[in-house]
Every structure is written in structure tokens, then in C-alpha cells.
Amino acid sequence: MILIIDFGSQVSHLIARRIRQLGVYSELVHWTEPVESIKSMMPEGIILSGGPRSVYEKDAPTISPGVLKLGIPVLGICYGHQLVAHLTGSRVVSSSKEYGREMMSIKKPSQLLKGMKRKEQVWMSHGDSVTELKPGFELLASTPDCKVAAYANEPAKIFGVQFHPEVQHTLNGIRILDNFLRICKAKRNYSAKGIGTRLAEEAKSRIGSMGVIMAVSGGVDSLVAATIIRKATRNIHLVFVDNGLLRKNEAEQVRKTFHELEFENFHFIDASELFLKRLKGVVEPEQKRKVIGHTFIDVFERKAAELKKRHGDIEFLGQGTIYPDRIESAQPSKTASLIKTHHNVGGLPEKMKLKTVEPLRDLYKDEVRALGRSMGISEELLERHPFPGPGLAIRVIGEVTNEKLKILREADFIFIEQLKKHGFYKKTWQALAALLPVKAVGVMGDERTYSYIIALRAVTSSDAMTADWAKLPYTLLERASSDIVKNVKGVNRVLYDITQKPPATIEYE
């Protein structure tokens, strides 16, 4: 087992997931975990994650120096790299920032960097640097702006890398983690095989004979979660709320999906007018999410009360929450930075006096899809792109109106259809259109126009924690742009977003 000590990085769980991919079980613990507790877990290796703080700050997150004296191999990543250096007497200072792809030059052969090329692309995200190493520690690699990009104390089996080997933009990062597992002599005996049965059994153990009510969207997460819970109990009531912020034909498609999957208790609510009424005049992104979340709770709560009155045994709220939802909406540790509020997290269970059951809460999207396949859910349903809970409201930048939703709904539909026609829908993690809150001058039919701008965005990713912009063919983009401008009244200009995550997010608000 590899123990990951979490210092609040937004991608800490990616480390755990990469380690599991390599066949070794991994767990995360908070940085306040006592050294005695860490020792009792008998890890074969310890990884210190990144984090948003500086090691020299007052009250900065730290570990007991005793962790480094347990005789267990240690790998520090980013903040963890700096913390190990700081605790062992090396110098860490504020420096020029490195953010994004960098080319790293390997200066010395090592167990950690075995099999790497002389120059490697790595992903940096830091504003502090290790500048001087204490005797006993050797410099392994540098970048143009970071002298100590990697170091090692080989006899003590202590290593540090300033970059993030866990993210896909460090091209050979998985090899570095694999090398560390070899250093640890870790047992490769972890497998996710049979996880569906285990999750269903855990849900059954929690639910017992009680009933479950669950909101569904038709997306992959809620679909797979509902299927798991149904394996635990047939006493599950699904509620679909049409908030008026859905994609074209979405509501009817969801009805059809759950009917074909033979879910017995499916309840449809059209609350589109209520949502639009409450969103009137709201422009700030977080406020939009809160309005949508609160309205959803009001609508869902009324239906839940009705069902509980009719079926007195409903005591649980099922949710399709997956790990990226939680890490971006609820701080995964005391030191993590909040990115955005997520509509599935917080408020609802307490208000309704329901206990939660979240079978997918520790899984990533690709793992959820793999789980769905093992349960016989069709590829067509599993390969649907993620769609946010607040829907098109966070893709209409500024105030949400019916007119803007109609424009965006059509533009989004055209873009997705072109991706499918050109064979790029399955090659992208997520694709979307967004309506910008500005208008531009154009000429259509020899007449001057003053219309909205649509931004198209398509990204590639394996888990949504990081993402790169999709290199779509010019012919596809040209066809999508032409069809949108020709067929969507109110639009005269189309842009393509080529920003990575980070620094951007996949969605616009």
C-alpha cells in the first residue's frame, strides 16, 4: 500500500488513482495524520502531495520530521518536494513562477528517473523553489527557471520532484511513479475487478430495507449510480427535474432512457418556468449556481415529501457524485482551495432529513464508465459527454434569458452533431458551446448585423482534473461555424477556445 499525505492540491486524488492504475492499492490521509498512525498503516511508500501554501509561511501545513525517519521510501511532489527540502535543511524561497509545460533536463542518472530521456516535458505549477540542497541530497534535474526540478537522497530513499508526474501533461510521469513503486518494492496486487458487486453490497448494507429517492439527469454518473443502487434495492424512486436549462431534446431523451432500462418508479417534473423566473437578473456565476441549487432543492423536496407520504420507508437520498465533483465543490482538505460550488453537494440531505448514499464518490469518470460497461449499460449512454448540473445557465455568460437559451441550445446541438459526423465526439472528453455577453458587427445578406458571439470548446482528458484543448480539424470547425451562423438567428461570429485546464476550467462559469 502507498500512503499519500494530502496538503490540499486539487490533483491529490490523481496521485492515488495513478498508483492504483499501476496495480498498487493507495489511500489518502490529511497532513495532520500522526506519525504513529502512519506507521501503523504499514505503507510500502509515502507520497507527499502538492498544495497551495508556502512551506516558510507561519502555520504552513507540515508533517512530523519523524515521517522521514521511518525508513519508508518518500516522494515529495511540488509542495511535498519543497517541504521535504525545508524539513531536511535545504533552502526554499519565493521564485519566478512556472505554470504549464516546461522542458526538464536530467543532470544525473537515478532510480527515480530511470528510463527517462535526457530532456522531458513536465507540468509545473509553483511560485516557490528549492534553491540549495543540503549535503546528502543530489540534484537530478533542472528546467530553465527551476534549478532543482528533482533531487534524491538515494541511501535514505527520499526523493522530490517540483513538477506533477500525476498529470497527463508530464508525458512520462507514470514512469516516474512506476519507478517509485519499484523503489518501494510495492506489491502489485490491486484490481478494481468486481467493484460493481462490492459497491452494490456496500449500498445494500447501508440502505437495508429502506427506500431511496434519487435525482437523475440522464448523465453517466447518475445513471450508473442509480443502476448500482437498484442492485441493492428495488425500492428506488427516480426524479427528473426539467429546469429549462437542458440541451436540445434532452428531457425526452432522459425519459426514454430510463423507460428502456425498466426503472419502475420514474417521476418527471417540468419546473422550467420557475427556474427561469428565479434566474431573472442574476449574472454572477456563483449566485447562478446557488439560485439553481436552491430552486432544485425546493422542487425536489416537494416531490420527496409527496413520495415519503405515499411510501413511508424512504430514508435515503441517492446521489451520482463522483470525486471531481467533490474536489471542485467541497474542499478535500482544510488547506485546499475552493474552485466552485457544485449543485449536488450540501444542503439537501440535512434539509430533507435524509441519509446519503453515494456509491461513486471515490471514482473518476473513466472508472464510472468502465463500471457501467461491466454492468451491461450501452456504449451510447456511457459515452455521452459530461453535462453540468446547472446546465446551459453556466454557458450563458451573464443573465440567463429564454432568448439566449434558445440561441445556445441550437448552437450547441449543431456543434455536437458535427463532432459526431466527423468522428470526433468519442475522441473528445467534453465539448460545448457558450454564449458570450457581447455582440459584434457582421454582414449578412448585404446588411449590417449586430449579434452575439458563440465560443466553442472541446477538450481531451482522462479524468477532468486536467484537460487539453482538442486539436479539431479545420474542416470540422469551419462547418460548425458556418452552420451556426447560417441557422441560428442572433449569432454572427464563432470562436474556438484553445485554453488548457489549468489555468482555465472546462466550463465557463
Residue-by-residue DSSP string for 93-110: EEEEEEEEEEEEEE-S--
- Judge residue 317's burial from the number of C-beta atoms within 10 Å of its C-beta, 0-12 exposed, 13-18 middle, 19 or more buried: buried
Our answer to whether residue 164 is catalytic in this structure is yes
Alpha helices in 67-194 (DSSP H): 79-87, 173-184
Q: How far apart are CA 132 and CA 152, in angstroms?
A: 13
Of the residues 98, 102, 166, 509, only one is catalytic, namely 166
Answer yes or no: are the C-beta atoms of 190 and 23 closer than 8 Å.
Answer: yes
Q: Which helix (H) or strand (E) holds 130?
A: strand 119-132
CA dihedral 183, 188, 190, 192 (to 10 degrees): 110
Of the residues 13, 81, 126, 164, only one is catalytic, namely 164
Of the residues 78, 237, 410, 509, only one is catalytic, namely 78
Answer yes or no: are the C-beta atoms of 25 and 44 closer than 8 Å.
Answer: no
Q: Which residues pair with 143 in a beta bridge?
A: 146
Q: How far apart are CA 17 and CA 40, in angstroms?
A: 22
Q: C-alpha grid cell for residue 262?
A: 425498466
Our answer to whether residue 166 is catalytic in this structure is yes
- Judge residue 58's burial from the number of C-beta atoms within 10 Å of its C-beta, 0-12 exposed, 13-18 middle, 19 or more buried: exposed
Rg, Å, the chain Cα set: 25
Which pLDDT tens digits describe the chain residue by residue (509 residues)? 999 999 988 888 889 889 988 999 888 889 999 999 999 999 999 999 999 999 999 999 999 989 999 999 999 999 999 999 999 999 999 987 888 899 999 999 999 999 999 999 999 999 999 999 999 999 999 999 999 999 999 999 999 999 999 998 899 999 999 999 999 999 998 876 668 888 999 999 999 989 999 999 888 999 999 999 999 998 999 999 999 999 999 999 999 999 999 999 999 999 999 999 999 999 999 999 999 999 998 999 899 889 988 987 899 999 998 876 765 554 444 444 444 444 454 555 666 678 899 999 878 777 888 899 888 899 989 989 989 889 999 999 999 999 999 999 999 999 999 999 999 999 999 999 999 999 999 987 767 889 999 999 999 987 777 789 999 999 999 999 999 999 999 999 999 999 999 889 999 99
Terminal-residue alpha carbon distance, the chain: 38
Which domains are seen in the chain, by residue range?
Answer: 2-184 (3.40.50.880), 195-382 (3.40.50.620), 395-496 (3.30.300.10)
Q: Is 87 helix (H, G, I), strand (E, B) or coil?
A: helix
Answer yes or no: are the C-beta atoms of 178 and 115 closer than 8 Å.
Answer: no
Confirm whether pTM is higher than 0.95. Answer: no
- In the block, which residue shows the cell 475522441? 427
Q: How far apart are CA 431 and CA 504, in angstroms?
A: 15
Answer yes or no: are the C-beta atoms of 239 and 271 closer than 8 Å.
Answer: no
Closest listed residue to residue 203, CA positions, set 172, 235, 175: 235
